[in-house]
Amino acid sequence: MFDLTKNYFELFGLPVSCQVDLKALSGQYRVLQRAVHPDRFASDDERQQLLAVQYASHVNDAFHTLKQPLNRAIYLLKLAGRDVDMERNTVMDTAFLMEQMELRESVDEVRSDAHPEKALELLVARVDGDIDDYLLHFEQCWQSAGKEDLDQAEAVVKKMQFMVKLAAELEALESDLLD
């Protein structure tokens, strides 16, 4: 039965895991949307249509959560009973904070660089690499699944959050530079 409280992995018939078969995920996504999308119920009564909007929203949400590595990691922690409160994402080790400040400075300097595009490219590679490393680290912690490991997994996710934000800013900077 389709159950709105069922976890997203089960909904897509996938194993609960850090790694997701993206092809299988988007395949199942289309199958589910074909079954529940409001377009399928356009000539049904209002109640059925509202239900369809609800189900289709849920499927969209599940899909976007599982598709993105960071969202997926946050979701996995949630399944383990740990709500990562990103709003109160403040406690960080000093080394990480220093590194962040350094990175931010580099971002600010891109514009005044003699070869801004080259500088940007290097930064993007660095940030993307860090995100990959965090993902790997998260996966290791997740698989061991002891209490301390989960504490660590949570800390890694919080760091990853910073980096993903930075990556988005770099993207915006890139389209700015093109103008």
Partner 1 sequence: MALLQISEPGQAPEPHQQKRAVGIDLGTTNSLVATVRSGSAETLADIENRHLLPSVVRYAESAVQVGYDARAMASEDPENTIISVKRMMGRGLDDLDSLGSSYQFADNDNKGMPFIQTRRGDISPVEVSAEILRVLSSRAEETLGGSLDGAVITVPAYFDDAQRQATKDAAKIAGLNVYRLLNEPTAAAVAYGLDQGGEGVIAVYDLGGGTFDISILRLEKGVFEVMATGGDTALGGDDFDRAVARWILEQAGVDETSMTARQMRESIGEACRVKEALSGQSEVGVRFGDWAGALSRQQFDDLIAPLVEQTLRAFKRALRDAGLKAKDIEEVVMVGGSTRVPMVREKVEEYTGRPPLTSIDPDRVVAVGAALQANVLAGNKSADDMLLLDVIPLSLGLETMGGLMEKVIHRNTTIPVSRAQEFTTYKDGQTAMAVHVFQGERELSRDNRSLAQFELRGIPPMPAGGAKICVTFQVDADGLLNVSAEELSTGVQSSIQVKPSYGLSDGDISRMLKDSFEFAGDDRDARALREQQVEADRVIDALDVALAKDGKLLLSASEFEVLQADLVALREQREIGDAKSITREIERIGKSSEEFAARRMNEGIRKALSGQKLDDLEEF
List of residues contacting partner 1 (CB under 8 A): 1-2, 13, 26-28, 30-40, 42-48, 51-58, 60-61, 63-64, 87, 175, 178
Least separation in angstroms between CB 42 and partner 1: 4
Nearer Cβ to partner 1, position 133 or 174?
174
Nearer Cβ to partner 1, position 42 or 95?
42
Nearer Cβ to partner 1, position 87 or 148?
87
The CA distance from 59 to 54, in Å, is: 9
Residue 123 · residue 110 · CB < 8 Å: yes
Least separation in angstroms between CB 1 and partner 1: 5
Nearer Cβ to partner 1, position 30 or 118?
30
Nearer Cβ to partner 1, position 67 or 137?
67
Least separation in angstroms between CB 93 and partner 1: 26
Least separation in angstroms between CB 58 and partner 1: 8
Contacts of residue 56, Cβ cutoff 8 Å, sequence gap at least 6: 33, 36, 37, 38
Least separation in angstroms between CB 146 and partner 1: 30
